[in-house]
Amino acid sequence: MIKTNGKADDPEEITMTPQELQLLSELDSRQCGYLLLNNPDNAKKKTLVLKAVKYLQLMVIQARKQQKAQDTDVSNTKNTKSISIDPKTWVKLGHFHLLLEEHRKALSAYQMFYTAQAENHWKDTAFLYGLGLVYYYFNAYQWAVKVFQQLLYVSPNFQRANEVHLRLGLIFKVTQDYQSSLKHLQLALADNNPCTTEKDKIRFHIAHLFEVQGKVKIAKEKYELLLREKSLSNPLRADIFRQLGWLYHCYDILGEKHQRIPSAISCLQQAIAADPCSGQTLYLLGRCYASIGKVHDAFIAYRNSVEKSEGNADTWCSIGVLYQQQSQPMDALQAYICAVQLDKCHSAAWANLGILYESCGQARDAYACYLNSNRGSNNRGTVEENLASKAPKTALPAIGMNPHLTQRINFLQTHLSSGPMPSITNSRRQLLSIEEAWNLPISAEMSSRQQQQTAGAGNNRNANSQSFQKNYNPPGGGNGAAVGAAGAPQGPPPPYPSPAACPTKRFKPETPEKSSPPTTTPSFYLNPQQQQILQCLQQQNPATLTQTQQTTLQQLQQQYRLMQQHQQQMRNRQGQQPPSSQNQRPHNSNQQYKLHQPSLTVGPNMPGGGQSDLGVSEEDIKDLLSHKDLATALAENLLKHFGSDDIKEEPSLDPLSTNEFSPNHHNDSDNKLELDVKGVKSKSKSKSPTQDILAVKNELPWEMESLNSSGKRPESEFNINMDAKMIIELCRGEGNKGEISNSLISDHAPPPAAPEPPPQKLNQQQLLPPTPSVYLDNKKHAFSPQLQEFCLKHPIAVVRGLASALKLDLGLFSTKTLVEANPDHSVEVRTQYQQPSDENWDPQSGRKVWSCVSHRSHTTIARYAQYQASSFKDSLKAEGDKTSGSGYNLSDSDSKDSTGFQRRKKGSLPTPPSNNVKNANSPKTLKFGTNVDLSDERKWRSQLQELMKLPAFARVVSAGNMLSHVGHVILGMNTVQLYMKVPGSRTPGHQENNNFCSININIGPGDCEWFAVPDAYWGAVCALCDQNQINYLHGSWWPVLDDLHKSNIPVYRFMQRPGDLVWVNAGCVHWVQAVGWCNNIAWNVGPLTARQYNLAIERYEWNKLQSYKSIVPMLHLSWNLARNIKVSDPKLFALIKKCLLRTLRQCAMTLEFARGKGVDVKFHGRGKNEASHYCGQCEIEVFNILFIREQEKRHVVHCMDCARKQSANLEGFVCLEEYKLEELMDVYDSFVLHPAVPASNEAYRLPS
């Protein structure tokens, strides 16, 4: 126990028993969620942890004091004494705070560790885990993802990998990266290690994931399957029923309405039975009733919902709809106002309110509402919107959003600006203006709370407003939930937002007064009577007020505004504590998901005068060293530390909000966390030379794992000059430890990171460099080695006139020929918006965005051909119409479009048919026929034969092409794919799979426009994708050129004409749009160069980090290369040999581990052209040693890590071996560096 006895603040005065120290040494982030220190049962442990925290804090304080003393002693002289705080102190402090659920302090401490240990921080997996949990807790998703990915990369077999996968799955669900989400949730589910979240709940998340993607039938099936589980907890059962009920309500494909709605109601009622407290469920029930006209039942359900969950904007919006349908505009108005006060960005409520105003002839108010609605839908970031992991995405209410919102806005704008509409001047105002309604004190008839305050002031509100209570009065008046018609409160009030709960209430910016905090209520405050009078006056038609009444009204309004401003100021003053983020853990269900920036103003609690009579002395530590139970690592640690000089402390004592790892470091006004790769990666070496490094005498009393203590054989002992036997020898005994790295780089390499872009600032010209291009006159040119050299030298190159130089018959790939050859052949279709090539607009928000809509479907060549042809004919017709003067002038308000969407018409598209009508609200879509597979030699013989005319380096198959050595088909990479286009068809931005080069020939007749960024800048492009919350690897994105320029990223831009070949070099980022109607053919090649191989391996590792499948099996390929080719380039040789070495090691260790577990390894061999294997769980390539288990009647290959997660001792798995170890050893030893041979392909032979 910590006693306070005056002055002692020396850590040495805190004592702990060896048992306690042992216990503390075992605590870290991995116990988070398992060891609940705030549970009364753990009171003793909590006390101990608090004591340890105290100890560490005192230690830090003492070190700093010493430092300060020394600084003043020897100012101006370089100090040789040094005090350092072991960085591990910070990480331990972080763990303790985490376990104590003090997340801010935990984050602060972890950040201190990061600052001190930036280059090696990733070696401490418990640190990564703890930091990830804290980021996750604060909804700092991008940061959490980064840290968790590093953790899984460094330690795929991490004890809490399932917790990590679960959180990644939830984060990606929130950020709408559904593909990644599903993958991680399934990995969490497949892992049989203990998990804080029950498996049924993970299944629920998976089902919900399908729901949010609109995959209704799958979601329904999965929900129903889950409901069969006997052991479901009530809350989970309620969740499932609620979602299922809502599915029935929303989706036609689940049946006829007269069947669906009763099913929906039944499900929702079962949900309420399982969890009677869910306001959300009651709300949805109300929606169901409303949809079948059961107004009374709907009102009751809404009413109950309002009681259960205070402040739900959706509910108020729906209540408004109901009133509006019942022709009660006043009540509707108030309900909508309630909704938008609760959620200023509630688009539907704003839109409905606008409609309401318009219906009452109040155009100005309607206009304002529509603008707000529009803004609301813009503001709702992708993240916020559909997430509440449980709460169903709420569809718009029945009379919901005007689909022509923008049109209405334009219309009203035009008319308002051209003078008041006759209808406004003539008709009496029926409703309060928005401002009046907004600023109206919470109306008495809708808040009995208010009513109690104003009781006795008379009840002169109009009768219309009373209907709320009347309608809400449940039959029989049973629940006491409603307020009687007479206005006397009979039950709990409907929870309207109280001023305090609604700090964002006002539209107008505050006009700050002089701040002298008044202790009494200022004189301008309205008393209840005055408020009543104000309301009364405000509700009357201004024209009918007497002069006195008008004066009174103005005065009261003035006072009211002052009062509100004052209240706001008071709230602001009070509200400066950090946002409460407690109880907001995303897996806890109902809370909002937002990317908000944790504001880290709170440092670790460093008590200045904390007292204690406890201490750990040097003697204690020595005692500990001899304590048998403590692992020797402690001693090693301590000893190592005494001599260590590489650990230094940042002298900044104001730690926690300023270092680069801190989200606060980036002052992003949008309050969004940006993942700053730079900040994370390269904090570090820079130590100010003037900083004195102080040595500390304090050591940590408990054991901590050293960052480098994996216990593995140092990797430096392995090198590519060893023979295979030696390598196998060195592996002996290592596999049994179970820590088998699958990195192709090194056991100790940091996780891969995107490269920094070249630093030099580019000028305008350099930002738009000329595209390297070459014109071919004849066949000789095409076959000259210079052409290949030219291509390999540049990030991207256009070879013009290739087709005619080689006399290629491009007609073989024309739509006409394709239809004749294989009309029923499958075509993948992407439905996209028509856009100018250098812009990408989001039709919903009217903003330039990166995310590029591209929906997938399928058709046949014949049908696509028909579409392509009719699109062309329509265009000709439209051109004709245009010249004859008709067909345009459709738009009356382009220039006034506030959304900017119509600016797209400035683009110089060749007006394909779909683009003629300039309607901002329905951007035209087009269909892009993509990924047509031409691999089948029987179907496409003549086409494929024609391509043999190409020079070797560009051919689909050649000995000098790595991809020809894979030994099996990788569709679209070592086979030909065809693209069928209409103008505007887009291939979004990407690098090729595993950074291979690609060849693309335009068949014509139209052109294609290309954009390309050199590979050196891919990291910068990736960072921009992150900023735009879109997945770089599998997201569909179209870079905003301005963003690239601002980020100093150069872009090649050029036209590819019919017959031109585009060479995309390894790693080049590119995106393409068709200018005219055309077809293209494309495939990948892998020149046998060190650069190509290296980039492929780098991407292979990056994909691993990102949990993205590498479709080029680099392990398998490397072994085939070793068998098939003679390498004379020392660099390429070393790279391949290294990969062989790492896989050979991995195989030997895996075999040893499996045999150690008593698994019988069976030789299986490999079939000819057999595809490479990938893990059925994590999709990593599995080379040579396969762990097989039957799953849903299929034999599924697993990697060793996934197998162990299902069964620690590999029980139930069959282990197959594809190559004998001797064979691999032989290949390894035979792969040697050859003397240089004259440039020819004879050194290569293709696999037979």
- Residues lying near Zn ion in the complex (CB under 5 A) are found at 1175, 1177-1178, 1199, 1202
Output 83 or 1175, the one with its CB closest to Zn ion. Answer: 1175
Q: Are strands 1161-1163 and 841-842 parallel, antiparallel or unpaired?
A: unpaired
Smallest separation, CB 190 to Zn ion (Å):
9
Looking at the chain, the number of H-run helices and the number of E-run strands are 44, 21
Residue (of 1115, 1215, 1198) closest to 1156 by Cα position: 1215
Q: Output 751 or 989, the one with its CB closest to Zn ion.
A: 751
Compare residues 163 and 1179 and give the one whose CB is closer to Zn ion: 1179
Closest C-alpha among 137, 214, 140, 133 to residue 383: 140
Looking at the Cβ atoms of 32 and 1202, the one nearer to Zn ion is 1202
- Cβ atoms of 44 and 38 within 8 Å: the answer is no
Separation CA 25–CA 310 (nearest Å): 45
Partners of 930 in beta bridges: 828
Q: And the tokens for 167?
A: 């959180």
- Name the minimum Å distance from CB 1206 to Zn ion: 10
Q: Closer to Zn ion at the Cβ: 933 or 1181?
A: 1181
Find out whether 991 and 1103 touch, Cβ atoms under 8 Å: no
| Residue 405 vs 1159, nearer CB to Zn ion | 1159
Q: How far is CA 848 from the centre of its chain?
A: 19
Instruction: Measure the CA–CA gap between 454 and 460, rounded to whole angstroms.
Output: 12
Residue 775 DSSP SS3: strand
Comparison of 920 and 1175: residue with beta carbon closer to Zn ion: 1175
Contact 583, 518 (CB under 8 A): no
Distance CA 215, CA 238 (A): 21
Q: How many CB atoms lie within 10 A of CB 426?
A: 9
Reduced to 3 states (helix: H, G, I; strand: E, B; else coil), residue 1219 is coil
Rounded to the nearest whole angstrom, what is the least distance from the CB of residue 1223 to Zn ion in the complex? 24
User: Rounded to the nearest whole angstrom, what is the least distance from the CB of residue 1178 to Zn ion in the complex?
Assistant: 3
- Tell me the two tokens of residue 242: 């609620």
CB of residue 1147 to Zn ion, shortest distance in Å: 16
- In the complex, the smallest distance separating the C-beta of residue 1156 from Zn ion, rounded to whole angstroms, is 20
Cβ 152 to Zn ion shortest distance, Å: 11
Name which of 673 and 1180 has its Cβ closer to Zn ion. 1180
Is-contact 431 328, C-beta < 8 A? no
DSSP 48: H
Angstrom distance (rounded) from CA 1091 to CA 961:
14
What are the Cα distances from residue 483, in Å, to 335, 460, 1223?
A: 16, 16, 85
The minimum distance between CB 187 and Zn ion, in angstroms, equals 8
Q: How many CA atoms lie within 13 A of 89 on its CB side?
A: 27
* Radius of gyration of the chain measured on its C-alpha atoms: 35
CA distance 373 to 408: 12
CB of 1109 to Zn ion, least distance (A): 11
Q: Give the nearest distance from C-beta 1140 to Zn ion in angstroms.
A: 22
Angstrom distances, CA of residue 936 to CA of 822, 829, 881, 975, 1167? 11, 20, 44, 9, 20
The one-character DSSP state at 712 is P
Name the minimum Å distance from CB 163 to Zn ion: 17
Residue in this structure with the two tokens 């291009």, named with its chain if needed: 773
Q: Which is nearer to Zn ion, 829 or 1178 (CB)?
A: 1178
**Bond into 1005 cis (ω within 30):** yes
Dihedrals phi, psi of 564, to nearest 5 degrees: -65, -45
Query: Which three-class secondary structure state does DSSP give residue 640?
Result: helix
Nearer to Zn ion, 156 or 392 (CB): 156
Name the residue nearer to Zn ion (CB basis): 78 or 1194. Answer: 1194
Q: Which is nearer to Zn ion, 442 or 1175 (CB)?
A: 1175
Q: How far apart are the first and last CA of the chain?
A: 77
Q: Are strands 925-933 and 977-981 parallel, antiparallel or unpaired?
A: antiparallel
CB of 724 to Zn ion, least distance (A): 26
For residue 982, with 0-12 CB atoms within 10 Å meaning exposed, 13-18 middle and 19 or more buried, which class applies? buried
Q: Nearest distance from residue 1185's CB to Zn ion, in Å? A: 12
Residue number, 368 or 1202, with CB nearest to Zn ion: 1202
Give the H or E element holding residue 468.
helix 467-472
Give me the sheet containing 1214-1217, strands edge to edge. 1161-1163, 1214-1217, 1185-1191, 1194-1198
Contacts of 525 (CB under 8 A, 6+ apart): 559, 563, 566
Answer yes or no: are the C-beta atoms of 1172 and 1116 closer than 8 Å: yes
Under a CB-based contact definition with an 8 Å cutoff, are residues 23 and 45 in contact?
A: yes
Q: How far is the CB of 966 from Zn ion (least distance, A)?
A: 21
| Nearer of residues 180 and 977 to Zn ion, judged by Cβ | 180
* Alpha-carbon distances, residue 1064 vs 374, 765, 788, 1085 (angstroms): 41, 22, 12, 10
Given a contact cutoff of 8 angstroms between Cβ atoms, the answer to whether 982 and 1074 are in contact is yes
Find the shortest distance in angstroms from Cβ 303 to Zn ion.
Answer: 52
State in angstroms the smallest separation of the CB of 1197 from Zn ion. Answer: 9
Closer CB to Zn ion, 954 or 1159, in the complex: 1159
Our CB check for Zn ion shows the closer of 153 and 204 to be 153
Output 924 or 1142, the one with its CB closest to Zn ion: 1142
Closest distance to Zn ion from the beta carbon of 1199 (Å) = 3
**Looking at beta carbons only, is 545 or 1196 nearer to Zn ion?**
1196
Closest approach of Cβ 1216 to Zn ion, in Å?
Answer: 15
The three-class DSSP label of residue 1073 is strand
